[in-house]
Amino acid sequence: MTSALVITSPGSGAPPLSDELQAAGIHVLGACECDKLVQQALRCAPDVVVCWEPSPAEAGLFDALELLSRTQPMPVLVFTADAGAEGAQRALELGVAGWVVHGYAPTRLRPLLQLARARFEHEQRLRAERDDAHQRLEERKLVDRAKGILMRSHGLSEDEAFRRLRGAAMQGKLRVGRLSQQLIDAARDAEALNRSGQLRMLSQRLVALQALRLAPAPDVDAPALQATARRQAQRNLDHLSRTLSAATLGDLLQPLQAAWAALEQALDGASRLEALAGLDQCAEALLVAAERLTRALEGGSALQTLSAVNLSGRQRMLGQRLLKQVLMGALLATPEGAQALSLAAATARDFDQALQRLQQLPLSSPAIRIALDAAAREWQRMQQGVREAGHETGRRQLALSAEALLACFEDLTGDYERSAQMLFD
């Protein structure tokens, strides 16, 4: 038997709806006013809601129906005296299945209820088909993006990338779209952390290159390298500002932007050796801001391999930091120069310890092992340059080894970044 909930307002002149519905073979579960519609509909769960309301807008029926449509959509049949187009349009927008103007008759109740239920079910099917088509379209977009990531990171063809996605989804008992979203999120997190880590490194590199501009080393084009480093820092900052959530990380992005602006201004005015210490202070502020953002990105991601990306990326910074400290100690006969030189030993120890940790990580691949071996060799050459930094030839060896070491860890950090998708192999 079809069940119904009756909605009427006092003084609306409603006919004996409950009695006439029961006479038509409809089981009436209850009756209430508009303000109780949603509460009673949820409690009774009727097959259809039957409303008698001459003036729906004034009685608040539309507000109640809007809440019902958001909470628990169900067939609604309305008898009304509202013949305006606005009321009919509003009812249609709210999913009212039957809107009968001046057309009430007991003999029409049963066919109108049947029509309302049939129309509601038809619209629900159409809505489900539309939602399903939309979901498939969005899933296809995600799959295409995920395939692109795999094609770039692993050098796969489009067919092979899709095969790996589908295989991993089946193994993990996930929809391909859901797995694709996870892959996209992983790639986004890894790239953001890598770029933030590069800013950390560039804070030290820019000072080291400024020292090399003031005391040139043969075969090292410090002005060109510094110009490239400045462009790289700005690109990374622009990317992070564009892609990271301002609501979540804005409190870390703003200090980073301010520190970079101060360092750029200091770079433009650091044409003398005496300005090197002040430039270094600005660089340290950028280093602190970039380190805070990097830690937040690592801690806020569910991707476990980000710790390896961060550790490898930090080696880039330590190599450039050591170069900076040794050069400042060799060039500045000031307390700042002596302090920089005294900190160089601790920086070298940090680098050594992190290199050992990377060599012990279970996450590995042939490319990563090759890059680690190359980095270890360049690290030995750089240490030799450190010992001879008081001479021009030593500074040349130090600068060239630092460049080679940086290139090794750029490649290695990229390998770790791509390893975020290794579970798809």
**pLDDT tens, residue by residue, 204-223:** 999 999 999 988 777 889 99
How large is the average pLDDT for residues 105-112? 94
Going by pLDDT thresholds of 50, 70 and 90, the confidence category of residue 45 is: very high
Class of 3-125 in CATH: alpha beta
Paired with 31 in beta bridges are 6
Whose CA is closest to 335, among 274, 390, 282, 385?
A: 274
- Domain at 131-176: CATH architecture: Orthogonal Bundle (1.10)
**The predicted structure's pLDDT at residue 424:** 45
- Please give the mean pLDDT across all residues of the chain: 91
Where does the chain hold its CATH 3.40.50.2300 domain(s)?
A: 3-125
**The predicted structure's pLDDT at residue 363:** 63
Helix (H, G, I), strand (E, B), or coil: what is residue 3?
strand
Does residue 421 surpass a pLDDT of 80? no
Going by pLDDT thresholds of 50, 70 and 90, the confidence category of residue 364 is: low
**The predicted structure's pLDDT at residue 288:** 97
**The predicted structure's pLDDT at residue 422:** 54
Paired with 208 in beta bridges are none
pLDDT in tens, 275-292: 999 999 999 999 999 999
Could you tell me the pTM of the whole model?
A: 0.71
Where does the chain hold its CATH 1.10.10.10 domain(s)?
A: 131-176
Distances (CA, A) of 314 to 63, 206, 225, 232, 257: 58, 16, 20, 17, 20
**Percent of the chain having pLDDT more than 70?**
98
What is the C-alpha separation between 195 and 83, in angstroms, rounded? 63
Going by pLDDT thresholds of 50, 70 and 90, the confidence category of residue 392 is: confident
Going by pLDDT thresholds of 50, 70 and 90, the confidence category of residue 425 is: very low
Q: Are 20 and 44 in contact (CB under 8 A)?
A: no
Helix (H, G, I), strand (E, B), or coil: what is residue 184?
helix
Paired with 51 in beta bridges are 7, 78
**The predicted structure's pLDDT at residue 118:** 95
